[in-house]
Amino acid sequence: MIRRHMLVVFATLLVVASAISFAQTPSPAAAPPQAKDTILKATDITAHLFPTTVFFHGQTATSQMDNAGGVRYADGQLVLAALVDSSGYASQFRMKYQGYLITEVEIFISGQTLKPGAYGFGFLDNNKFVVMDLGGNDVLQVTSTRDADIRHPMPLQIVAGAGAGNYRLYHGRDYIEFHRQGH
Amino acid sequence: MANRTSALRPKESRQPECENLAPAGPRRSSCVETFLARFLSPIRINSCEPEGARAIKTLLTIPTTLRTAGHCVFVALLAGALCLFAQTAPPKEHAQTVQPPAVYFEDIAGRAGLTALNVYGGDTHKEFIIEQTGNGAVIFDYDNDGWPDIFLPNGSTVAGFPPGQAPTGHLYHNNHDGTFTDVTVKAGLAHAGWAQGACVGDYDNDGYLDLVVTYWGQTILYHNNGDGTFTDVTEKAGLKTPDNQWSTGCSFIDYDRDGKVDLFLSRYVDFSYETAPHPGQGLTCTWKGIDVSCGPRGLKPGVNALYHNNGDGTFTDVSEKSHIRPASECFGFTSLTADFDQDGWPDIYVACDATANLLYHNNQDGTFTEMAQQAGVAYNEDGFVQSGMGLTAGDYTHDGLEDVVQTNFTDDSPTVYLNRGGMNFDDVTNTAGLAKIRNWLGWGVQFYDFDNSGWPGILIVNGNVYPEVDGKGLGTSYREPRVLYYNLRDGTFANITADAGPALSEMHSGRGLALGDLFNDGHEEALVNNMNEKPSLYYNTKPVGNFISLQLIGVKSNRAAIGAVVTLESGDGRYAQEVRSGGGFVSQSDLRLHFGLGKAATAEKIVIRWPSGLVETLQNLPANHFYVVREGSGIDSSMTHGTSSTPANIAAPK
């Protein structure tokens, strides 16, 4: 009888401990990326792939190549992002224009479509993520998510998201999730 | 436009990460560790993870020492479950059981004869970034008389000076009576130029501390001749650089543990008057709407270097071979060496301005792996680049691990990185109580046991880089106060600046900061190099607790024992300090280790881990003595002495 009770306690503890352990595993969690997609880190993104200076809203800014990331899809198409030195911009744009996004494919961000092209983007303080065309006009604004569990956040990184084909663009602890049209 | 912080988002709140899981406080063994330690061999596990997960990880990583695997599983799970249950309770309030003592600092620099002006570019306008950075401070006993002396690097101006009139660094000899004598010329250290930092070590193991002074220009190695003079041996030692490098921080480090200290240099930017833009001329040449000197963003970063000591008075550049180069781009300032993961091999940390910090982990084979991001010290807790200036390492939680405090640019706070072991750090700035002050620009920083409690507080020296900010209503000023924190022994600090006398609140544009008991009276002083002013020397005139001081002399290890780790074991835990070259802001503190003992009459147990690997234990050392310990033979009683009386011109308790 005692042994049986111990087994019950043991099993319960195992389930509880495991559940809480997994529940608190730092993001990103979830399914691995599609087998043939490749997540690109900053060291993978050379000047051959991403311009070291980028044009946006009337002037150029330097790309922070140490703070870059991307996805190379199985068919070779790319989504690339990097932070930029936007110090030359007026203050209202400095707050919004933090990075440069290049996508060769149509992607969906929180249900909104982003056509292939080059864009400016920024994570705003009120949990908003904004994408702007090269003229500085908003083309997309969605709610971003704050990841309190990530252990050592970075200025920018792209990691696998929740579910196959989903990827997360992180800026520090804030992220948005995107996936490709048809994926 | 922010030259350094432009890419950063304003940080509205700092959400403690691990502190949510493990309530702040002196880092104790985790609940699971404590529970399991009674049954299993102690191992190091990640104390930042949820306790349940850690219990399971512990279970998976440790060999079974209990009789049955099932028993082990049960015990571990039970421990994990109990601890998880405990975590659901609301975190405890920080019980402030420790009240800061009476502290009263006076600036005694003038009384002590430290009167030379530090010349560093313009005082109301700076045209170039070379005028911004300023210089370190050094406390070292160059003549082996048992009384620490002072060296203060000096700068220049863009216009320059007529021949023979340029300012030079200053070497001050300690007169043993509360005063110092400027012996610069006699010592052969009168050298003009844009001096930055300095560090000391005995590279030829002759028993006299040698001096490196970094410059924009040729960095200089001075050999201590043992007769009160120094000789510039830079070229002979193979340290001549082909270009005018801008070296800032320096650290002697015996990275290969061959008993001979090597030399690490951090470098800032590739700068020249000819190529640098002028204020307002470039994207990084304005700040908050005013034209200021440009950089470091927009300028090419410098490249750090490591020189191996060949043992014959020469060095070889091993930067590539050791994998110090290449590394991520870094506008390098202060370098600091420490055995962060307690594997017996010294690592190197570099505070980087406007770029991610660097942490070179020693691979024990002559190479390093840069792992700041993995270790959690590249960025702040929100994942953003800061602008690192100064560094200090110390064990403020008494767990035997060296934690780090880094000073940063204005509109940001200093950063406290808590060492979790195994090259894992967490940014605990918020819970430590250092996130509140964000409008001052930090430089020199030291863990500082100013009352000999045995629990180091923190002293931070501030000052903006742009004199042009004065009068602009920007909420900051070129000259800024110091900040003094008291260690409340629960993982938090209290800002006691306002209660520590008016001297610390006087406005200066401070840079270098070094510590040392200059008068051998048991009070550690803080030496500050100020921009375009005379230096400051802070003395706590209030009574302090008991202490011991340890000077280590290496035999098999390098003579100055750089890299030796000393742990004081007592009822308060394990308090570790390391003999270190560098730190502060490109500065050098006295190599003697100062342990406050509070009211204890003896140091119960001292464990010395020498760089050679030898471990020596000393027990029941009477307090208030300056001990000299020789590697392998214990205390050298002929050189050990008691406390001296505070000189009359210094002591003036309020």
Q: Which amino acid is at B414?
A: P
Q: Largest alpha-carbon pair distance within chain B?
A: 83
CA nearest B48: which of B423, B406, B353, B316? Answer: B423
Which of A83, A151, A173 lies closest to B382 in CB terms? A173
What's the CA gap between A81 and A69, in Å, rounded? 6
B494 touches chain A (CB under 8 A): no
pTM, entire model: 0.84
User: Average pLDDT, whole number, for chain A?
Assistant: 85
- Residue of B51, B291, B380, B385 to mutate, testing the A interface (most A Cβ within 10 Å of its Cβ): B385
Nearest 5°: phi and psi at A119?
Answer: -140, 160
- In Å, how far is B269's CA from the nearest CA of chain A? 17
Whole-number pLDDT of residue B1: 35
Chain B CB contacts of A14 below 8 Å:
77
Provide the 3-class DSSP secondary structure of residue B492.
Answer: coil
What are B558's two structure tokens? 């390098």
pLDDT in tens, B143-181: 999 999 999 999 999 999 999 999 999 999 999 999 999
Does residue A110 contact residue A103 with C-beta atoms inside 8 Å? no
The residues near B511 (Cβ < 8 Å, ≥ 6 apart) are B133, B134, B135, B136, B443, B444, B461, B463, B528, B529, B530, B531, B585
- The DSSP annotation for A2-42 comes to HHHHHHHHHHHHHHHHHHHHHHTSPSS-SSPPPTT-EEEPG
- Residue of A15, A53, A87 to mutate, testing the B interface (most B Cβ within 10 Å of its Cβ): A87
Residues belonging to chain A: 183
Q: Give just the sign of the alpha carbon dihedral B230, B236, B241, B242.
A: positive
Q: Give the gyration radius of chain A's Cα atoms.
A: 20
Which run of H or E residues covers position A84? strand A78-85
Stretches in chain B below the pLDDT threshold 70: 1-96, 283, 652-654
Asked if the Cβ–Cβ distance from A152 to B80 is below 8 Å, we say: no
What's the CA gap between B186 and A10, in Å, rounded? 78
What are B301's two structure tokens? 């970063």
What's the CA gap between B9 and B62, in Å, rounded? 42
Nearest 5°: phi and psi at B409?
Answer: -70, 175
A125 touches chain B (CB under 8 A): yes
CA nearest B340: which of B425, B452, B246? Answer: B425
Does residue B604 contact residue B621 with C-beta atoms inside 8 Å? no
What's the CA gap between B375 and B329, in Å, rounded? 18
* Helix, strand, coil percent values for chain B (each to nearest 5): 10, 30, 55
Whole-number pLDDT of residue A31: 52
What's the CA gap between B223 and B110, in Å, rounded? 30
Which run of H or E residues covers position B73? helix B69-87
Does residue B460 contact residue B473 with C-beta atoms inside 8 Å? no
A81 touches chain B (CB under 8 A): no
Asked if the Cβ–Cβ distance from B55 to A17 is below 8 Å, we say: yes
Top-confidence residue, A12 or B607: B607
Whole-number pLDDT of residue A92: 81
Nearest 5°: phi and psi at B607?
Answer: -115, 125
User: Which runs of consecutive H residues, i.e. helices, occur in B463-528?
Assistant: none
Long-range contacts formed by B306-311: CB under 8 A, 24+ apart: B306/B255, B306/B262, B306/B263, B306/B264, B306/B265, B307/B238, B307/B239, B307/B262, B307/B263, B307/B264, B307/B265, B308/B256, B308/B262, B309/B203, B309/B258, B309/B260, B309/B261, B309/B262, B309/B263, B311/B258, B311/B260
CA nearest B365: which of B253, B256, B254? Answer: B256
What's the CA gap between B62 and B398, in Å, rounded? 25
What's the CA gap between B181 and B171, in Å, rounded? 8
Ramachandran bin of B294, using left for φ above 0, alpha for ψ from -120 to 50, beta for the remaining angles = beta
CA nearest B419: which of B447, B394, B384? Answer: B394
Decide if pLDDT at A143 tops 90.
Answer: yes
What's the CA gap between B248 and B237, in Å, rounded? 19
Please provide the distance, in angstroms rounded to a whole number, between the alpha carbons at the two ends of chain A. Answer: 54
Instruction: Give me the total of CB pairs closer than 8 Å, taking one residue from chain A and one from chain B.
Output: 113
Asked if the Cβ–Cβ distance from B12 to A21 is below 8 Å, we say: no
- In Å, how far is B614's CA from the nearest CA of chain A? 36
B5 touches chain A (CB under 8 A): no
Which of B52, B56, B373 lies closest to A154 in CB terms? B373
CA nearest A99: which of A44, A166, A54, A161? Answer: A54
